[in-house]
Chains A and B, each alone.
Chain A
Amino acid sequence: MKKNKLLVLVLVLVLIISSLALTGCTGGSSAEKTAETKGAPEINGLKYESAMKLDYAKGFDVYYYNGGYALIDVHNDAKYLVVPKNKQVPKKLDGDIVIIKKPVKNIYLAATSSMALFSSMDAMQSVTMTSLRSSEWTVQAAVKAMNAGKIVYAGKYSQPDYEMLLDKNCHLAIESTMIYHTPEVKEMIEDLDIPVLVDRSSYESNPLGRTEWIKLYGVLADKEKNAVSFFNNQEKLISQLKDYKNTEKTVAFFYVTSDGKVVVRSSNDYIPAMIEMAGGRYVFKDLTDSDGKTSIPMTMETFYDKASDADYIIYNGSIDGTVSSISDLENKDPLFKKFKAVKSGNCYATGSSMYQRTDVVGNMVLDFHKIFTSTNPKNLEFLTKLE
């Protein structure tokens, strides 16, 4: 008798929990549903006017409505209606659309790649909280603002200081895709009535696409003109190289993990795209990951097999900053001695800021171009030659 009672109760418990979990799960699928409706959605009381011109970015769209309203559609994620200052929120709005009221102040910036964009369009005053400490930032504007106390550290993305967010009247939390790994944080912030926007620029395969997200942030920070002009400058830098004939020199871009594996980029990642733009060829032509991951690990053996003949080696110093000379590279694995690029001395490393400097992708591409086209490149901003 006791046994049966116990089993029944346990089953009931399991049922309660499963049903709760399932209701939680449906939250995910409804987000996918909104993704299906492409094109400018109908908004009650507003007339659609135009869409933002985007040449490279595929991850979002912005639709303009009369009266200064704008709808930001982050594909496969969420829609945000940006309401101008002192204007009304439209009634009977679709429940999935998140309201963001201008002026957008006290942004909690937890997407490190977007800080540079804010700095480039002179919108730093919109940000007052961030998820990295000043010592962890390479974007100079951020370091300066933090040291001046204008931006404070509000806890890392997986454990933000919720009280501070509320206390400082946070209007918007900009998170990176890492937030998907800690969904309870996103839910908690939204529970506090703070909208969350996920920066999905890292999914862009074109480096200019990454930078074009500055236009999205321009809408939020009321700096659209600055954003557009900055972007155009970057585009110009790269279009200089458009007609340049590819040198057909092969480039290997990678870093070595602590347990000896080599991590390279997938062939449709933005870094190989930058290499192409700069007039080189990424050494892996058709390397993709079935799950769509951009970083692909492989054994040293495989890497040696495929990349030993690469003309150039560029070491990803933004993940692993321990390589500053050729002997450092050889210490990682003695096989490197046999690489063509090592023998010919064409080895470079990126600085630690590469990931954070989404703004100056044009300048970076120019740096790449320099090393492909001259044997002794000068004035490199983002690369250092390994001696």
Chain B
Amino acid sequence: MKTGTKGEQLNKYSAHSFHAENIRRKNRYFAVFAVLAAGFIATVILNINTGNVNIPVSRIFSIIFTGAGSDKEVDIIWKIRLPRILMAAILGGGLSLAGFLLQTFFENPIAGPYVLGISSGAKMTVALVMIYYLQRMSVVSSYTMILAAFVGSMISTGFILLVAKRIKNMAALLVAGIMIGYICSAITDFIITFASDSDIANLHGWSQGSFSGMNWSNVQVAAIVIGITLVLTLILSKPIGAYQLGEAYAQSMGVNIKVFRVALILLSSIFSACVTAFAGPISFVGIAVPFLIKGSLKTSKPLVVIPATFLGGGVFCMICDLIARTAFAPVELSISTVTSIFGAPVVIYMMLRKHRRN
């Protein structure tokens, strides 16, 4: 379309034009991202600096960048604090995106990453390993537990995908997710009847979530899995943008709805499964963070929201982990406790605002 008259040309830069609006938006995005990045760096620094052992900031820098320092201090920074911080950031980002993807799928901002029964599935397989497998094998590596949780999550997801093939109705799908959650819980309860009290306590502890004891191997695996899934999610940002107008319009613009819906569920599940596998179920992150990010960016455009949500989730989890491990040291709060304290008010506020709008 040619811009014919001079009047039309001027229009491009008028305050009402799309171009001008996008410029204004880009400024806003830039500001938000700058804040997030700064927050990220600040939180990382704060986290590295905090621990039961006091290591002055100056030494921290030399330890990280030159590796100089006493063995003990290097170990504390490199083997204990850094992996934990990075895991909190990576898993926090992944979980937030898991929530974002399901909110897109259900076209509802209250959908959380566990609404399709993933955490119940993971708990079920972890219970199986803890209670049955351990009796027979007696020695189990940590990766067996991690893999068990991941497999359990994907089993739930598999059932959901099977159901989604037949049922298009969103509400029905939600009910199916809840049902699968209940079934897995029932199986878990069955397994627990044969468990000792200590097993039960352990299982409960697992289901509260924790970033304690993360090592570099964990960081590597999580980074790869979540990194790949993040890239795939970004690739999905165009169809997600189309889907925001509803299924019919998205389809008319060429989005393959069947594949798209499966992709949403699958990617969300991989994120949630990975987080649950390494750190156990963590509540509220998946609902609160996307909401806060969208609110500060004042847009739903996926290409912007996705990276911002990831960053925001990382910052949120790192802060919560910091509080979890320092509030009552050396006792650690479970991460879900802290995320609930911060996340629940956000979610309540969000629900009230939605209600008032309607």
A interface residues, Cβ below 8 angstroms from B = 2-3, 6, 9-10, 13-14, 16-18, 20-21, 23-25, 27-28, 31-32, 76-77, 153-156, 158-159, 161-164, 166-167, 169, 178, 180-185, 187-188, 191-193, 257, 291-293, 295, 319
Q: Is the CB of B141 within 8 A of A27?
A: yes
Give B147's nearest chain A residue, CB to CB: A21
Enumerate the 9 nearest inter-chain pairs by beta-carbon distance, A residue then B residue, closest first: A24-B143, A184-B142, A24-B141, A21-B147, A161-B330, A28-B139, A291-B135, A21-B143, A188-B213
Measured between alpha carbons, how far is A184 from B148 in the docked complex, in Å?
14
Give the residues in chain A near B215, CB-CB below 8 Å.
187-188, 191
Q: Is the CB of B210 within 8 A of A159?
A: yes
Q: A6-B266, A166-B76 are in contact. Are A20 and B221 (CB under 8 A)?
A: yes
Give the residues in chain B near A178, CB-CB below 8 Å.
198, 202
Q: A17-B225, A21-B147 are in contact. Are A155 and B72 (CB under 8 A)?
A: no
Q: Is the CB of A164 within 8 A of B225?
A: no
Q: Is the CB of A18 within 8 A of B147?
A: yes
The one of A77, A155, A163, A185 in contact with B53, judged by C-beta atoms closer than 8 angstroms, is A163
Measured between alpha carbons, how far is A3 from B263 in the docked complex, in Å?
8
Q: Is the CB of A21 within 8 A of B146?
A: yes
Q: How far is the CB of B56 from chain A (nearest CB, A)?
A: 14
Measured between alpha carbons, how far is A49 from B330 in the docked complex, in Å?
45
Q: A21-B143, A183-B142 are in contact. Are A166 and B80 (CB under 8 A)?
A: yes
Q: Is the CB of B52 within 8 A of A187?
A: no
Measured between alpha carbons, how far is A183 from B332 in the docked complex, in Å?
18
Q: How far is the CB of B44 from chain A (nearest CB, A)?
A: 17
Give the residues in chain A near B51, CB-CB below 8 Å.
163
Which of A6, A182, A184, A293 neighbours the largest number of chain B CB atoms within 10 Å of its CB? A184
Measured between alpha carbons, how far is A319 from B201 in the docked complex, in Å?
14
Q: Is B212's CB within 8 Å of the partner chain A?
A: yes
Q: Is the CB of B202 within 8 A of A158?
A: yes
Give the residues in chain B near A292, CB-CB below 8 Å.
135
Q: Is the CB of B72 within 8 A of A166?
A: yes
Residues 182 to 237 of chain B near chain A (Cβ within 8 Å): 196-199, 202, 205, 210, 212-213, 215, 217, 221, 224-225, 228-229, 232
Q: How far is the CB of A19 from chain B (nearest CB, A)?
A: 10
Give the residues in chain B near A193, CB-CB below 8 Å.
75
Q: A9-B232, A178-B198 are in contact. Are A17 and B52 (CB under 8 A)?
A: no
Q: Is B270's CB within 8 Å of the partner chain A?
A: yes
Q: Is the CB of B53 within 8 A of A164?
A: yes
Give the residues in chain B near A162, CB-CB below 8 Å.
76, 79-80, 213
Given contacts A2-B263, A6-B266, 4 further A-B contacts (CB under 8 A): A17-B147, A18-B147, A27-B141, A28-B140
Measured between alpha carbons, how far is A159 from B206 in the docked complex, in Å?
11
The one of A16, A25, A76, A191 in contact with B221, judged by C-beta atoms closer than 8 angstroms, is A16
Q: A13-B270, A187-B215 are in contact. Are A24 and B142 (CB under 8 A)?
A: yes
Q: A21-B143, A181-B130, A182-B202 are in contact. Are A295 and B196 (CB under 8 A)?
A: yes
Residues 307 to 358 of chain B near chain A (Cβ within 8 Å): 329-332
Give the residues in chain B near A181, CB-CB below 8 Å.
130, 134, 198-199, 202
Measured between alpha carbons, how far is A187 from B221 in the docked complex, in Å?
16
Q: A166-B80, A192-B79 are in contact. Are A31 and B139 (CB under 8 A)?
A: yes
Q: A184-B213, A295-B196 are in contact. Are A166 and B75 (CB under 8 A)?
A: yes
Q: Is the CB of A28 within 8 A of B79?
A: no
Interface size on B, residues (CB 8 A): 53
Q: Is the CB of B259 within 8 A of A2?
A: yes
The one of A2, A17, A191 in contact with B150, judged by C-beta atoms closer than 8 angstroms, is A17
Give the residues in chain B near A9, CB-CB below 8 Å.
228, 232
Q: Is B136's CB within 8 Å of the partner chain A?
A: yes
Q: A2-B259, A155-B331, A169-B72 are in contact. Are A291 and B136 (CB under 8 A)?
A: yes
Give the residues in chain A near B252, CB-CB below 8 Å.
none
Give the residues in chain B near A10, CB-CB below 8 Å.
266, 270
Measured between alpha carbons, how far is A23 from B220 in the docked complex, in Å?
15
Chain A interface SS verdict (over half): helix
Give the residues in chain B near A24, CB-CB below 8 Å.
141-144
Measured between alpha carbons, how far is A191 from B76 in the docked complex, in Å?
11
Q: How far is the CB of B161 from chain A (nearest CB, A)?
A: 12
Give B259's nearest chain A residue, CB to CB: A3
Measured between alpha carbons, how far is A192 from B77 in the docked complex, in Å?
11
Q: Is the CB of B266 within 8 A of A191?
A: no
Q: Is B62's CB within 8 Å of the partner chain A?
A: no
Residues 223 to 272 of chain B near chain A (Cβ within 8 Å): 224-225, 228-229, 232, 256, 259, 262-263, 266, 270
Q: How far is the CB of A217 from chain B (nearest CB, A)?
A: 22
Q: Is B138's CB within 8 Å of the partner chain A?
A: yes
Give the residues in chain B near A25, CB-CB below 8 Å.
140-141, 143-144
Q: Is the CB of A17 within 8 A of B228?
A: no
Q: Is B145's CB within 8 Å of the partner chain A?
A: yes
Give B70's nearest chain A residue, CB to CB: A166
The one of A18, A167, A169, A180 in contact with B134, judged by C-beta atoms closer than 8 angstroms, is A180
Measured between alpha carbons, how far is A178 from B229 in the docked complex, in Å?
35
Q: A159-B210, A183-B145 are in contact. Are A191 and B79 (CB under 8 A)?
A: yes
Q: Is the CB of A161 within 8 A of B141?
A: no
Q: Is the CB of A159 within 8 A of B141?
A: no
Give the residues in chain A near B134, CB-CB below 8 Å.
180-181
Q: How far is the CB of B292 from chain A (nearest CB, A)?
A: 29
Q: List 18 A-B contacts (CB under 8 A).
A: A2-B256, A6-B232, A6-B259, A10-B270, A17-B221, A25-B143, A28-B140, A163-B51, A164-B52, A166-B72, A181-B130, A181-B134, A181-B202, A185-B213, A187-B215, A188-B215, A192-B79, A257-B197
Q: Is the CB of B142 within 8 A of A167?
A: no
Give the residues in chain B near A188, CB-CB below 8 Å.
213, 215
Give the residues in chain B near A169, CB-CB below 8 Å.
72
Give the residues in chain B near A3, CB-CB below 8 Å.
256, 259, 262
Give the residues in chain A near B221, CB-CB below 8 Å.
16-17, 20
Q: Is the CB of B266 within 8 A of A154?
A: no
Measured between alpha carbons, how far is A159 from B202 in the docked complex, in Å?
11
Q: Mark B271-311, 1 if CB is under 8 A from A, else 0.
A: 00000000000000000000000000000000000000000
Q: Is the CB of A163 within 8 A of B76?
A: yes
Q: How far is the CB of A50 from chain B (nearest CB, A)?
A: 30
Measured between alpha carbons, how far is A124 from B328 in the docked complex, in Å?
27
